[in-house]
Amino acid sequence: MKNQLIYRLTYAVGSVAMSLGLCTNLQAQTTPKQPTLGHRSAKILQIGGLQFKDLNKNNKLDIYEDWRKPIDARVKDLLSQMSLEEKTGLMLISTTRMEGDYAFEPQKKQGVIGSGFNEDDLVQNINMFSRKPLPYPLLSASGTTKGITERHLRNFILRANTDAKTIAEWSNNLQALAETQPLGIPALVASNPRNHITKDNSVGLSVGTTTFSKWPGELGLAAMRDFQLTRKFAQIAAQEWRAVGLRKGYQYMADLATEPRWQRIEGTFGEDADLAAKMVYEVVVGFQGPQLNANSVALTTKHFPGGGPQVEGQDPHFDFGKDQHYPGGMFDYHLKPFKAAIKAGTSAMMPYYAKPINTAYEEVGFAYSKAIITNLLRKKLGFKGIVNSDTGPIEMMPWGVENLSILQRYQKSLEAGVDLYSGSADPALLLETVQKGLVSEKRIDESVARILRERFAMGLFENPYVDVEKAQKIVGNPDFQKAADIALRKSIVVLKNENHRLPIAKKTKLYFETYMESGKNNPHRIYQPAKPIEGYEFVGTPDEADQIVLWLMPGAAAGLFGSTGAAIDLRLSKNMIDVGYVNKLLSSKPTTLCINFTSPWVINELSNYPALLATFGTTPEAILDIVTGKFQPSGKLPFTIPLSQEVVEKNLSDVPGHLKQAPYALYKFGEGITVLK
């Protein structure tokens, strides 16, 4: 009995102690952690020892201003306070520019809110269905300021290529202006890729060489086959973007490079769905984190359900390229990378302009297809984020719905499931669509809720501002570039090393030429290292050399946006390379031939190259480290290099090269020599 009493007393005391401890722990867990509040004009409310921003200027704490509340509750409250005009303004994302970037006179003051791209100007100045529409809008005097204060715009795409200080200052000024508005809804600034060495840096594809850390192109990242380094790339890039106020990426392309003639292959992760899926997963998690948070850069994965299998490779930016088909019956194969993006939590999806032909789906652009967006993407694949149209499907690329009015196009695309429209800076017609009863305000609320939810998750209502001085230290810093330099080397693929030509022996005189574009004033760029490379002498002419390193940079003369609808030919002689000159050089001395593959070029016009390297956006220094044996190659081809133009023209455009019927390949997907002796 005595022992039982002692046991009961001990148990009771222990239970009380545990309960007290549990209460203490629960209290610690539920005590809200004060976030940093970034503000300029908004009053700070002091409540219970905590601080909140009075964004709507009513001198009280609203639910949407209370960072302790669940996101859905904050969204519901803010929606209830928004006018229809404010809602429709939030459903547009328009291209903006700043004073201080390369497009302005240098004497203009930098770091202020400048004139914005107004997509409406483009519609007024071109024929909607011309064969060569301008790809993106012209500068407009209406500007970003008018967009925020009069049109309620809060989503912007920054195309400017300038320094970190200028972008960060501009971003802060943009947010300060947004904060002055009645509800204080912060802006969200997106960008195309900024961290890749790329051949085609056309507006809308890539910003090109920037002050950010410089990594291989997307094909090069895939060629590395290093998923850990891919994740590290995305994490580093996200830090740089976040530092300057870029919080959304119009990237990455989950499209597959199955049609070798398609002119956007450079932005893909190659032809294989499984490889592309792994790459997409890593970049989404790297940029966003496990879920959207205050450190995230939200991504917009594109172009659902896969823009690769274009008819004859023509692009749907143009009416002559609006058709997409699946002659090999591999529609589902192209969905794999998008499924990976959804699994990784991608914040947004972008449907392409193209319309499918010869399928079970309605022959309309994907932004107008309820079967594609609502039934497939949302219901079947489970995507819950934002559906962001590509730029201009309403006014410029309304494929399959050309006979509908602008209001009817908004109606059909909203019924399909689009939330956010790129390509206009004026919500008047979207607003009119609702006012005339073509679409209910309830349907508008669904889209606006998704758009607001993203902002709340990323903490933009608490602090959308950046530290300008810190941004200058973060962007492009040496530690980041050191990691990128490894990737630049790992992305190089050695395809041929006849008679063990590589590595090039020391005490060799090298002539290193980058051959850029035939017909230009100076297509021949002779490389001379900034610092001597021990054991090698670099000479200025082929005659002086023992060996030659020749790096070819093929490409269509006019780029994607110069397309005319003419048949696309992948032979080097049709892509700015003087084959006669190259073959003469190859015959003159032992030559290591390097080719930058922005597309799967047909290279059968060349001969006499004992060593062949494939690059996908890298540097001369990286190439030299490979050919001299300083860095062992590890890259593998991200796509198949075809035998000839003839096999290209007969290919099934939805089928990856490694599954195409033989004979097709000169070099197969996945090839790459990894040991040089």
244-283 pLDDT tens trace:
999 999 999 999 999 999 999 999 999 999 999 999 999 9
Rounded to whole angstroms, how far apart are CA atoms 53 and 41? 10
CA 292 to chain centre: 17
On the CB side of 422, CA atoms within 13 Å amount to: 28
Q: Where residue 160 falls among pLDDT bands split at 50, 70, 90?
A: confident
**Which amino acid belongs to residue 617?**
G
- Check whether 22 has a pLDDT greater than 60: no
Q: Which residues pair with 512 in a beta bridge?
A: 549
At residue 121, φ and ψ (nearest 5 deg) are: -60, -35
Rounded to whole angstroms, how far apart are CA atoms 619 and 197? 8
**What digits encode the pLDDT tens for the residues 386-419?**
999 999 999 999 999 999 999 999 999 999 999 9
Q: What is the predicted pLDDT for the residue at 516?
A: 81
Say if residues 240 and 152 touch (Cβ distance below 8 Å). no
| Strand 50-54 to 43-47 pairing | antiparallel
Rounded to whole angstroms, how far apart are CA atoms 624 and 631? 9
Say if residues 591 and 572 touch (Cβ distance below 8 Å). no
Name the helix (H) or strand (E) containing 590: none
Q: Clarify whether 390 is annotated catalytic.
A: yes
Mean pLDDT computed over 348-366: 97
**Which amino acid belongs to residue 504?**
I
Report how far apart the first and last C-alpha atoms of the chain are (Å, whole number): 84
Say if residues 389 and 328 touch (Cβ distance below 8 Å). no
144 against 408, higher pLDDT: 408
pTM given for the model: 0.90
Q: Pull the structure tokens for residue 85.
A: 């005009």
Rounded to whole angstroms, how far apart are CA atoms 432 and 489? 54
One fold for both 71-474 and 492-634?
Answer: no
Q: What is the predicted pLDDT for the residue at 520?
A: 64
DSSP letter for each residue of 331-368: TGGGGHHHHHHHHHT-SEEEE-S-EE-SSSS-SS-GGG
Rounded to whole angstroms, how far apart are CA atoms 447 and 452? 9
Classified by CATH at the fold level, domain 71-474 comes out as TIM Barrel (3.20.20)
Report the chain's mean pLDDT, rounded to a whole number. Answer: 89
Q: Where residue 122 falls among pLDDT bands split at 50, 70, 90?
A: very low
Rounded to whole angstroms, how far apart are CA atoms 526 and 667? 29
Active-site position among 66, 390, 419, 485:
390
Residue boundaries of the structural domains of the chain: 1-31, 71-474, 492-634
Q: Which residues pair with 50 in a beta bridge?
A: 47
Q: Count other C-beta atoms under 10 Å from residue 27's C-beta.
A: 9
What lies within 8 Å, CB to CB, of 109 at 6+ separation is 99, 100
**What digits encode the pLDDT tens for the residues 474-529?**
999 999 999 999 999 999 999 999 999 999 999 999 999 999 875 567 889 999 99
Site of tokens 């928004």: 82
Q: What is the CATH number of domain 492-634?
A: 3.40.50.1700
Name the helix (H) or strand (E) containing 387: strand 386-391
Q: What is the predicted pLDDT for the residue at 430?
A: 98
The percent helix, strand, coil of the chain (3-state, each to 5) is: 35, 15, 50
Q: What is the predicted pLDDT for the residue at 546?
A: 97
Q: Is the peptide bond before 663 cis (omega within 30 degrees of 0)?
A: yes
String of b and e for 94-109 (b: at least 16 CB within 10 Å)? Answer: bbbbbbbbeebeeeee
